[in-house]
Amino acid sequence: MPKVAIGKKVPDLDLKLTGEKSVKLSDYRGKTLVLYFYPKASTPGCTQEGRDFSAAIVKFRRQSTIILGASRDSLKAQDNFKCKQEFPFELVSDPDEALCDLFDVIKMKNMYGKEVRGIERSTFLIDSQGVLRQEWRKVKFKGHADEVLDAVKALKKASSAG
């Protein structure tokens, strides 16, 4: 399957979400979608990133925007993470890395002096037509949720002006 590209429609894919939900990426057409990838559930950076998106959830919803967090963790690990942190959005379990491959977020990383394959913290903004409009790679989570919200607002403004 080809990788995503800015300005191109995102290929459809089946997703396994927390709460034992199954959806397709195309199910979000008509709404803006923020899809963020994080390395591992229940780790400090990933927890903080999720909390930051949670804190801004009302502002995202005002923009008709859905947030999904994704990692390679099992559905059980994702359910536990969502429940413990009380995230007001669903998490995607991608243990077979189909979604990760589509968005090209698996990278070789240096961890404690060893090379390991892992998710590079990344976020993608997909418009209501299913087109990738913006991507953030090698994300530093501090202030990131606000930056993404600003991009959502700019996208909405541009599409209503056009």
Residues forming the active site: 46
- CB neighbour class for 3 (10 Å; exposed up to 12, middle 13-18, buried from 19): exposed
Q: Are 126 and 32 in contact (CB under 8 A)?
A: yes
Helix locations, 56-107, DSSP H: 57-62, 75-85, 98-102
Under 8 Å CB-to-CB from 32, ≥6 apart: which residues?
A: 63, 64, 65, 66, 125, 126, 127, 128, 152, 155, 156
Q: Are 107 and 122 in contact (CB under 8 A)?
A: no
